[in-house]
Structure 1
């Protein structure tokens, strides 16, 4: 799910640093994983099939006449076809999530045998084709029944239920799954879902931008964030105590990481940028690495920020074997003022507490998607220096396009540039171990529905059979992985010339 403007998207490729030097797949460490990603609600469809019950994402997507993931690209029924596409592309790994209400329809208790069989079959199919499964346990979709019962992530009861759900997954799938992410982009999930109201379950204090029906933007994101960390630590510690010695897997938490750069060379903007890094990175990473929240958050949020007990601090600290980084865009940071901000506020909530403007790069009259690869390199360098250089998997990176053209050259240029930036970071000592393009194929997107796509493979959503067709980016990525494409601009031109002329759908 990608965080796009609700108004307009303009794709701009800005290569602020040169990444034109040739590199190949062989320049990366031998055990490095290249893959692609999806999530359950966005890819599977089949929302009423085989015992699945509604999630909060179902409820949210059906509100206000939004697009929804009822069918999307029907991965539930077409998973074998999609695994074949992955194998033909040469993907080394596939990141997907487990639908909690498909596996355990009542949120706790009885396992749905048909849901269990689906995931076992999917994992088996991946393994048969030599593709490493990277499983995310939670991607915005806890069962609606748990939301109705006690409020989901703003209630500590979810820690026990999430841990029991994770236990089922470890027990049933762990022999074949060596990479686990507990909770998807924990930072932006807590912000978007409990401060801004733009993602399920859609909580916020009603304001002039979004009229939420429930929520408190000044307290709920921090309560949810705290419970996310405790639930992650609980599941992680269970895995390490009960399963890790036999299954020999790794488990981590993922964050959404904006690239953050001072708007000017002023001292104020530099301080504002450090404050933004404390809130947007340190909120989750400092407890995971050092056992407590950043001092800046404690000072600015005050009593609204939950406090770790000594026991909780010890449980959370060291509970991630790796950090999952989800990165799409870089923004300029300045002290809060009249400048346009990516997240305008009404005086309360997470972004008001930071006290900064996140300034879109480009024409300030429109929120624009601006992709600059040095932003990712900066994120990796900062995490290396500030958080003891943890192992990192870049779990999502990609670019939206409004066109259904198969010749998605901007996406090829984007992926190439970001892989180059990542390689620079690795050469500078970052322990980055994997890179996943969002997304394998066109899927339902959270804020844009089906009006934009990130897929390397086109899906004809007007076709009941959801026909798939490879885009130029799929051919490029495949060529990069199998060593038939050298990374230089002329190779993109050559690839274009070899691609079918009838490339618009």
Structure 2
């Protein structure tokens, strides 16, 4: 019995480079979408302009003094035409963004803000005019602060407005971003807006509320999706899916205990959201383990949830080994509580700190393979994947370009092996305000000078690489990447 981590340096080096084989854009299906992503709070700025009400993120970020917030962010609200032009020059095929609930419907439900509506119509029109497919996320963590209704009722009301107003030009909708992570993080990991102070669980039953939140998100997703199917799909011919945060998972050793622990982790981290979408109920292992702490679908709810997702949206950054032992006693967050339910502990595959992690592309390929085999090979979009680096360190972000290159190789392998994967979106198009980390780190292919009132954008090496890949001017297996690196080396400083 051998612990895999002993061989990590060798495994990661070999696996990352092995994914950089000879492939080009033309080796992917013609209708496959290569894109990049942002979200409203992290990109738009203009936090109190043109009728927008405060969101929970506005309130939370303003609890701390200073400018570590998204008040201005990248100023995408005012600079969206410039950003769309950068996308067009890059050859981007799709752009994923979210619609700010508090900008479009300031009170959460009811009156529509005409200036907010106009902004999103103009953004979508600008994208379409450059041949860029909009991929819209309906909910990306930014509830209106004045929220006073159920998640299911409110999200359905917002979805109705979005489908009606934008549906002729939007064919790909994601209802909720990272539903799994949102439930885990919001109900135990210190991001409990207006519920209890960070890292203080005295006013909340996190062992139960995490699963209630996940349950309510499934109902909210399915309500919006079924609304679309009943009222808009025949005419608009779009698709509606749910996004999950997906860890790559692999047994820590070749023991039966670790293999079984990995299966439990897959059930909790994937099956929790995906199995109800396929069969209308939770995995058996979750029901046995959690008992009354896991909500129960009524017969009507089960029918509503089953078959309600046209695709699975995958958000992936990190890969872990799974071992059959409890989480360390020093862990004080939901990670201890949630993984105590799983009965497993996750060990990072290489460096996997909050602000930096290694390329482990086989983790993404494993995720796609697992979803293919376990959930009837549904359409999959990789909605987020990227590498953080210290913000402002250099324009020559070679590790990020290599990271993207390797993970695109993993997607190519998965498609070759029969997966119905239909898109890959780099996080992120430009440097953003990161919800965890603020302006300390960034994922962007374009540098944003946040000290400049004009928020000047500058391309990094990763932007040049992605442009070359999309336009067919870079051969992944040749020396073109090295030559590109040398070409950009003269402008590596900021």
2:57 is aligned to: 57
CA contact (8 A) 1:166 1:235 kept: yes
1:451 is aligned to: 440
Are residues 417 and 190 of structure 1, via their aligned partners in 2, closer, same or farther at CA, if it must alter by over 3 Å? same
Number of aligned positions between the proteins: 481
Measure the CA separation in 1 of the matches of 2:355 and 2:240: 35
Measure the CA separation in 1 of the matches of 2:302 and 2:341: 23
2:180 is aligned to: 187
2:368 is aligned to: 380
1:355 to 343, 353, 358: 343
Q: Secondary structure at the match of 1:245?
A: helix
1:358-394 C-alpha deviation (Å, 9 max, x unpaired):
1123379999623200000000000000000000000
CA contact (8 A) 1:13 1:414 kept: no
Measure the CA separation in 1 of the matches of 2:254 and 2:356: 23
CA contact (8 A) 1:258 1:328 kept: yes
TM-score (norm 1): 0.91
5+ residue gaps in structure 1? 1-11, 151-156
Compare 91-100 and 216-225 and name the one that shifted more. Answer: 216-225
1:128 is aligned to: 129
1:6 is aligned to: none
Q: Secondary structure at the match of 1:379?
A: helix
Measure the CA separation in 2 of the matches of 1:364 and 1:96: 26
Measure the CA separation in 2 of the matches of 1:392 and 1:364: 25
Q: How does 1:89-128 map to 2 (within 5 A)?
A: 89-128=90-129
Measure the CA separation in 2 of the matches of 1:347 and 1:399: 22
Q: Give 1:344 shift.
A: 5.4
Q: Secondary structure at the match of 2:405?
A: helix
Are residues 367 and 465 of structure 1, via their aligned partners in 2, closer, same or farther at CA, if it must alter by over 3 Å? closer
2:288 is aligned to: 299
2:25 is aligned to: 25
1:71 is aligned to: 72
1:146-166 C-alpha deviation (Å, 9 max, x unpaired):
1xx35xxxxxx2211110110
TM-score (norm 2): 0.93
5+ residue gaps in structure 2? 1-10
2:15 is aligned to: 16
2:383 is aligned to: 395
Q: Secondary structure at the match of 2:433?
A: coil
Q: Give 1:414 shift.
A: 0.3
CA contact (8 A) 1:195 1:203 kept: no
Measure the CA separation in 1 of the matches of 2:350 and 2:234: 50
1:177 to 170, 182, 202: 170
Q: Secondary structure at the match of 2:153?
A: helix
Measure the CA separation in 1 of the matches of 2:476 and 2:22: 5
Measure the CA separation in 2 of the matches of 1:418 and 1:73: 26
Measure the CA separation in 2 of the matches of 1:223 and 1:268: 29
Compare 66-75 and 284-293 and name the one that shifted more. Answer: 66-75
Measure the CA separation in 2 of the matches of 1:419 and 1:316: 31
1:441-474 C-alpha deviation (Å, 9 max, x unpaired):
0000011100000000000000000000000000
Q: Secondary structure at the match of 2:479?
A: helix
CA contact (8 A) 1:222 1:305 kept: yes
Are residues 15 and 68 of structure 1, via their aligned partners in 2, closer, same or farther at CA, if it must alter by over 3 Å? farther
1:153 is aligned to: none
Are residues 37 and 214 of structure 1, via their aligned partners in 2, closer, same or farther at CA, if it must alter by over 3 Å? farther
1:408-450 C-alpha deviation (Å, 9 max, x unpaired):
0000100000000110000000000000000000000011100
CA contact (8 A) 2:36 2:95 kept: yes
